Amino acid sequence: MNRTTFYANYIDIYDLADAVQKRLEEDILQLYGFNGQHNFTADNFLKLFYHIKENQLFYKTYFKLGVDGKFRLTEYDVAAATEYYRDENIEYHVEFFRNGLNAVIKKWLANDCREAPESIRAVISSEYTVTKNQ
C-alpha cells in the first residue's frame, strides 16, 4: 500500500491499530457467537487456533501493532477461576493465563503456524492443567 492510499483510509498508524483492534473484536465475537458469555472450553480454543492459522497475516499485524494489550483474545472467566482456585490471588492466575496464551500464540505465529491447531490446544491444555486447590 502506498502512502496516499494509507492516508486516504487512515489518519495515522494509531487509527490503523484501532481499526485492526475493532476488526479482531468483531471477528472473535462472530466466531463464537458471543452474547455476553465468555466461557472458553478446549473446543473454543481450537476454533480460535484455526482462525489464527487461517488469518496469520492479520494476527501478526495485530500483535506487531501492540493492540493486544487493549483487547484480549479471550476473556477469562474470573468467577469460574475463583471457584476453581479459591484464593485471594486470582488476579495473578488471570494475568498469568492471559500472558501465557498470548506468548504461545505469538511464538506459533513466528513459526508460521507450522504445528496443527490441535497441537497448540494440547500445549495450552497441558500448561494450564492444575490440581484443584482444596
Question: What are the tens digits of pLDDT across the range 18-27?
Answer: 887 788 778 7
Residues 45-80 pLDDT 10s: 888 899 899 989 888 888 887 766 655 555 566 676
Q: What are the residue ranges of helices labelled H in 33-132? A: 42-54, 56-64, 78-85, 90-110, 117-127
Rounded distance between C-alpha atoms, residue 39 and residue 5, angstroms? 40
Q: How many residues does the chain have?
A: 134
| Helical packing angle, 90-110 and 56-64, nearest 10° | 120
**pTM to 2 decimal places:** 0.70
* 44 or 122, which is more confident: 122
Query: For residue 55, what is its C-alpha cell?
Result: 488469518
